[in-house]
Each structure stands twice: as C-alpha cells, then as structure tokens.
Chain A
Amino acid sequence: MIVEEEEKSRESPQGRFSTAPGGPISTRTQARKILRSLRKNKNAIAGLVIVAGYLLTAIIVYLTSVLKITIEPYNPIKQFTGAPYSPPSLAHWMGTDQLGRDVYSRIIAATPNDVGIGLAVVASALIIGGLVGSYAAYRGGILDEALMRVTDVFFGLPALVLAMAIAIALGRGIVNMMLVLMIIWWPVYARLARGEALKVSHQNYIEAARLSGTGKFKTLFRHIVPNISITLLVYATLDVGGVVLAYAGLSYLGLSVTPPAPDWGQMVSEYQDYMLSAPYLTFFPGLVISLAIIGWSLLGDGLRDALALK
C-alpha cells in the first residue's frame, strides 16, 4: 500500500489538536526563511558587516605579517613617523601618539590579537564546555554530579586574580592571557550544554538509538551534540564580544603584550594620561573595542531571532 503524497500538517506548541496554520516545509525553504529573516533584521546585517570587517582585517594583517609584507601605512612601532600628538589628519588618519607613532597603523596591526583571542577562547570554551556538559547530561548519575562539581570549581576561579597569578608565574604575554581566558570561559558552556543535552537525552530517538545498538559515544556525537549545537553556537556568537572586552581589560592592566607592541587595551592604558590634551588617542582604541563587541552582539541577536522565528 503506497501512500499518496501527503502534506505536512503543522503541530503547534499547544499540541496536535490546535489548529495553527501550516504547510509543507522543505530544507531549502527553511534555509531561505532563515536568510530572509536575517536580511529583514537590520541589526543583524549591521552586525554581520562589522564582524566581517574585523575578520577580514585580522586575516589580512596576520597573513601579511607572516609573509613579511607590509600593509599598514606606517610601521606600527616606528617612532616619529610624524609629529607627536598630532590630531587626525589626512596623513595620519587617527593621529600620532606621544612617540610619534601612527595610531591607525597600530590599531590595524593589533586586530589579530583581539579578534584571534575572541574566536579562540570561544571556540575552545564551546568544545570543552560543550563536551563536558553534554557528556554529563547523557550519562547522568554520579558522573553528572562529579563533572558539574568540577565545573563549579572553575566557575569559582576569580578571573583577575588568576590572570595576575599566571602573569607572575609564567610571565605576561598574549598567549598566557589567552590561556587564562580559556580556563575561565568554558564553565558557562558546560552548564548551557548540559541543559540542552538534558532535553535531548529524554527524547525517544535516544532510546531508539540504544535499541539500535548505537554505542554511548556514537550516540553522544551523532545524536546529542548536533541537536544542541545551534543553541550553543548562537550563544557563542553573542559571547565573542564578551571575550574581546575581557581581553581588552587584561591588556589594559598590562598583563598582555608589552609596549611597543600594539594592542588595543594596552593602548588605552598607555594613552589615558593624555586624555585631556589629546583625546583622540584614547578614543580610537576604545572605539574599535566597542565596535567589535557591538558587531558580535548584533550578529548573535540577529541569529537568535532568525532561528527562533523559524
């Protein structure tokens, strides 16, 4: 008995007997719907543009530095490329600092730091936290409790104190600060992943996987992780801005790169003495930090709205 082509009847959240309107939805239409609502959301577009700009800059700067090509208008650490404390002009778009270095070049050169750390920390937190949380939720019982208590320990670590301790023990520097942030950042993802994974673990298809002889790890990676990934990814997108801010804070405190190497947070700290006489100096690093955070937040928001509206 071959069944004729059936149309999908939508089941609304209230249950199958309510009559919300619906119709057949193919994957292509679903993707198109998401893109359409993303496009409609002006904030999301703005966010996407900003984020794309930062990513592009970071990649270009990093590649060119590796290939030993210069892309910045001036050498970021060369002093006296212009008169010190000059305000923004055609020659120096963002002015020069107290040692005559071109601020614009410094900012561009520093892009891979913040962007790179933002992405790296969130990615590692996603992976570590995601795996810990989803494994804990799937196995349940004592393993769940144990893993969550470990997570709680990491939750309790004070970021700043840890950063300073590491700076003293292992020295300052960008890699060490990235390490600190990675240690601090993953517990939230563990909790989030655990919550989502708990919902998924109670679905019948997980029981069906067991009845199909699918092993525990295979179930985790093929069934649980893919189904929690969207929520986690949306959260992660929103979160990159948070990492950028945290890192900027650490480098402001001088725990990251040392001058003359350029870094946004560190530049804010370095130029703050001149805030009254040459406000453009602190303005631009602050601006790029804020814009980065805004860009990632807008994109994350837009993504979340687009997926929820679907």
Chain B
Amino acid sequence: METSAEIKSSSEDVILSTDNVSKFYPIRKSFLSRSPSRFVRAVDGVSIQLPRRKTTAVVGESGCGKTTLARTVTMLIPPTSGKIMFEGRDITDKKWQNWKELYRNVQMVFQDPDSSLDPRFKVKETVAEPLRGLVGAGGNEVRKQVEESLEAVGLSSEHSDRLPGQLSGGQKQRVAIARAIATKPKLVVLDEPTSALDASVQAQIIKLLLNLQKQYELSYMLITHNIAVAQYLSDQMAVMYTGNLVEYGPTRSVIEKPRHPYTITLIASAPIPNPWKRNLLNIEIKGEVPSAINPPSGCRFHPRCPYAEKICQEVNPPLEAVAPGHYVACHFVNKTA
C-alpha cells in the first residue's frame, strides 16, 4: 500500500483534477449595469489533483475559497474559467451534459446536519432520493439499497421512519452520509463534515468515514478549517489563502515541513492538546485575513509575511515543486526550508 509520502499523480491514479479553475462573482452596481467593475475572486486559478481512493484535504480559513472550490468541483456552481476533468472527461465542457452519470459518481456531504436534510422527509426518503433521481430505481430495489446504506453508516431500520427533528446531530450527519454513498459513488466531497458536531460525535463520524472509505473504495475531498482533523484523515493536503492554492503535497510533508509562510503560521496556530507544548503563546501573526474583493496585489499573503520583499507585491508566485509531490507558491521557498 502506498504511504502518503509516495503519492504519484499519474492520470490513472487521479480521479478528478482541476486545471486553473476560477470562480469570480461580479459585483454589480445595479441590476441593469452592463459590466461590473469589481469581482469577488472566490477561487483564483486553482489546479489540484485528487488521487483515487485517497483523501485530499483542502484547508484554510474563512474566505479562502475552499467551500466555493468544493461547490465548483461538483459543478453545483460551475467555474467562471478553467477545466475540471473527471476520470479523464472534461465536465466543464458545454457540450457535456451527463449530469446523472456525474452525480452517480460524485457526491457531497454538507457541514450543517440541520440544513442538509429536508425536515419533512423521513430518513428513508432522504436516502432514497439519489437512488430515484440518478439510478431510476424503484420499489424493492430502492428499499434494499436504502437499508444497505443505513446499515453501513451504523443506523438501523428503526431510524428509517424518523424525521430529522427526532435525530441527534450525529445521527443526522450519518443520514447525510448514507445519502451520499447510496449510489456507491467514486468521489465524495466532504464540506466540513464534523465542524457542527460535539467532540465525541466528531470522533465517531471520522471513524465511520475511514471505514466507509475502505469498504467502498471511496476517494475523498475533505474541506475543513480544523488542521487536526485534516492531518488525521488525509493523505494529501492543500492549503488555500484568499482564493489561491499556496501549498499542496503529502500530508506528512505539509504538516512537518511546511514551506509557505502562511502554512507555517496556520499550522502553528492550531491548538495542540498538550499543555507542555504551548505553541499558541509563542506565535507572532500580523494582520487579518484580507477581503476577497480587493485582495492584495501580487502574492496575497505579502502584507502579513515576514519574508516579503518587493517582488512579492508585484508578482503572484506560481506553484513550484520543493520535494516529490510537494508544491509551494512562494518566491522564497528556499528561505523557509
């Protein structure tokens, strides 16, 4: 079995890749104005590859674009520019319209368990929805598969007639996961799947996700702001800052040898449950996360970067390899080595 340090990204091993994907939201002065003068650059030129049967974590803080990237990758919000290749096919191509086929293979689990289930749908109806809509199954077939999905996430048939209002947060999230795996997809995008849950429930769901990955050979794209969860679950980690991908590589490599100044700061800020290692009290972080409407010129991190120089203000650095499979977008990768 490959260790996370040896992930190759040859095209057979990659289930989905994005090529310079951007999503800009125009800010119009009024409904009728012709060309908007400003854009919210939610995602700006992101190229990422998701290896098959592995977990890729996308981490960052609010406004970094990771949630938009998740929506873009599933084509819920098509990108403004760039290509997305799923198993070698360009799904951003206007001629390509096989949505049902795409969603049989790509599914999503959302952050808020309350908002992801229709409060008027029973559990079994929620889980059955993708089976009816994407596979066109009916009657007995649906019932069998719903039962199978529920069992796989640790719920029993007594839960299937309940409404979301009768379930706990953890149970609701399990239903959401059961719905996502109902069609046995290949890729599941997990958008902050545990952020709204208590600590003990979070651990249950994390364990469940790991087991399901083995059982169904799933590929995961995990969006999270929690570094510890990302570190635990993922094989590959990508760090986003104000719409840009700033670092990306095998998880162990990114956590232990982060090279981008923002990644260094981010990892240093994650509280470690260890009173002998009080990392938080020793860090120096300048400034705040910038707005996505008017991001700083050049490298978006330059106003807060201790290594910034003139070139950082002018040119946004591209991703460069610093180790096998480990890429960093910084003009001075050598300084942080």
Q: Report A-B touching, CB under 8 Å.
A: yes
Interface centre among A9, A211, A212, A214 (most CB of B within 10 A): A211
Interface 0/1 of A54-98, CB less than 8 Å to B:
000000000000000000000000000000000000000000000
Main secondary structure of the interface of A (DSSP, over half): loop
Check: A26 CB closer than 8 A to any chain B CB: yes
Known contacts A1-B208, A204-B115, A205-B116; A16 and B169 CB within 8 A of each other: yes
Interface residues on B, range: 35 or more
Tell me which residues across on chain A come within 8 A of B155, comparing CB atoms.
Answer: 3
Interface residues on A, range: 20 to 34
How far is it, in angstroms, between the C-alpha of A117 and the C-alpha of B198 when the chains are bound? 53
Tell me which residues across on chain A come within 8 A of B132, comparing CB atoms.
Answer: 212-213
Known contacts A212-B103, A227-B119; A204 and B112 CB within 8 A of each other: yes
How far is it, in angstroms, between the C-alpha of A43 and the C-alpha of B198 when the chains are bound? 42
- The listed residue (B76, B165, B208) touching A207 by CB distance below 8 A is B76
Tell me which residues across on chain A come within 8 A of B216, comparing CB atoms.
Answer: none
Known contacts A213-B103, A214-B133; A205 and B163 CB within 8 A of each other: no
Check: A156 CB closer than 8 A to any chain B CB: no
Contact B100 A207 (CB under 8 A): no
Contact A205 B118 (CB under 8 A): yes
How far is it, in angstroms, between the C-alpha of A3 and the C-alpha of B201 when the chains are bound? 11
Contact B133 A213 (CB under 8 A): yes
Check: B211 CB closer than 8 A to any chain A CB: yes
Tell me which residues across on chain A come within 8 A of B291, comparing CB atoms.
Answer: none
Contact A211 B168 (CB under 8 A): no
Closest to B104 in A: A213
How far is it, in angstroms, between the C-alpha of A214 and the C-alpha of B99 when the chains are bound? 11
Check: B221 CB closer than 8 A to any chain A CB: no
Interface 0/1 of A1-44, CB less than 8 Å to B:
11100111101000010000000111100100000000000000
Task: Give residues in B with beta carbon < 8 Å to A.
Answer: 31, 71, 74, 76, 99-100, 103, 107-108, 110-112, 114-121, 126, 129-130, 132-134, 154-156, 163, 165-171, 174, 176, 179, 196-198, 204, 207-208, 211
Task: Give residues in A with beta carbon < 8 Å to B.
Answer: 1-3, 6-9, 11, 16, 24-27, 30, 145, 203-205, 207-215, 223, 226-227
